[in-house]
Every structure is written in C-alpha cells, then in structure tokens.
Amino acid sequence: MALDNLVQTVREQLRARLNQADQTGLWQEVDRNLNAVLTEVFAKMDLVTREEFDRQSALLSEARVKLQTLETQLKALEALAKPV
C-alpha cells in the first residue's frame, strides 16, 4: 500500500514536470512503463511498511525492558550469593 502511494507520487510529479516542459507525448510513453519499473525496483529494496517498523520497534522496546529487569535480578542474586 505504501509503495503504491510512493509510485503514484512519483508519477504525478513526473507528469507535472513533463507537462510544464510541454512534453505531453513523452509523458504518455513514460507512463506506460513507469509503474511497473518503479514497483519492481522497490520490491527489490527489501523495504518494510511503517506499521511493521512500528511493531518491531515496540517489540524491541519490550525486550529491552525485560532484559534490564533480568539484569537487575541477576545482580541481586549475585550479591546474595557472594560470600561475606
């Protein structure tokens, strides 16, 4: 979905620039292939959506909190186990 929006944005900007340059015929030729080419390029880039990025960030934050808790517990147990 996000890639579709990106492709559409690129198409619109290119169309506007070619129209400004009075290259309408060139736009028609470019438009025939632009969507397929951009989609293929983005598919090869191993991109993730914002939603997936946010999910992974949340999981990482939770893991950090758990790790800090375990480290604190381990230090407390080590302190108890040390001979005086």
Residue % of the chain over a pLDDT of 70: 90
Question: For residue range 23-38, what is the model confidence (pLDDT) as tens digits?
Answer: 667 767 777 777 778 7
Domain count, the chain: 2
Buried (b) or exposed (e) across 63-83, using 16+ Cβ within 10 A?
eeeeeeeeeeeeeeeeeeeee
Please indicate, yes or no, whether residues 41 and 54 belong to a single structural domain of this protein: no
Give the predicted TM-score (pTM) of the model.
Answer: 0.50
Q: Do 4 and 24 belong together in one domain?
A: yes
- Which structural domain, as residue segments, surrounds residue 80? 48-84
Give me the count of residues in the chain: 84
